[in-house]
Amino acid sequence: EVQLVESGGGLVRPGGSLRLSCVGSGFSFSGSWMTWVRQAPGRGPEWVANIKQDGSIKNYLDSVKGRFTIFRDNAKNSLYLQMYSLRDEDTAIYYCASNNDWRFDYWGQGALVTVSS
């Protein structure tokens, strides 16, 4: 059974930092591009960032460039999203997903990030 489990969400003040983690199992994690997608309350999903299998290529949504960093540890089947300088508009459920051939095959259940003073 494929599983992706996110952790690390929580309440953080504007300007603060947070690191999300995602552990995968049941599929070839090291053979997959991986992605972070977020969904703000009452809005559709928004692609945030993705990373190639070996970590050599990373792509970011313009609004998070310079503030968020995606990285992975294939030995631990783990994906991460380090978030700095958080803003109110970053409040969302953050999902990790495998991202092969321009589709998101498997998703986690998400981690809630709330940015509020």
Partner 1 sequence: QSALTQPASVSGSPGQSITISCSGTSSDIGTYIYVSWYQYYPGKAPKLLIYDVTERPSGISDRFSGSKSGNTASLTISGLQAEDEADYYCCSYAGSPYVFGAGTKVTVL
- Answer yes or no whether residue 1 interacts with partner 1 by CB under 8 A: no
How do 111-115 and 58-60 pair as beta strands?
unpaired
66 DSSP assignment = T
Shortest Å, Cβ 17 to partner 1: 23
Shortest Å, Cβ 117 to partner 1: 27
Shortest Å, Cβ 78 to partner 1: 17
89 DSSP assignment = G
27 DSSP assignment = S
Shortest Å, Cβ 59 to partner 1: 5
3-state secondary structure of 19: strand
Residues 34-73 touching partner 1, rule: CB under 8 A, are 37, 43-47, 50, 59, 61-62
Pick from 12, 33, 95, 115 the residue near partner 1 by CB under 8 A: 95
- Answer yes or no whether residue 102 interacts with partner 1 by CB under 8 A: yes
Alpha-carbon separation of residue 48 from 1, 22, 26, 114 (angstroms): 26, 15, 24, 16
3-state secondary structure of 37: strand
3-state secondary structure of 13: coil
- Answer yes or no whether residue 78 interacts with partner 1 by CB under 8 A: no
Q: Which residues of the shown chain bind partner 1 in the complex (CB under 8 A)?
A: 4, 37, 43-47, 50, 59, 61-62, 95, 97, 101-110
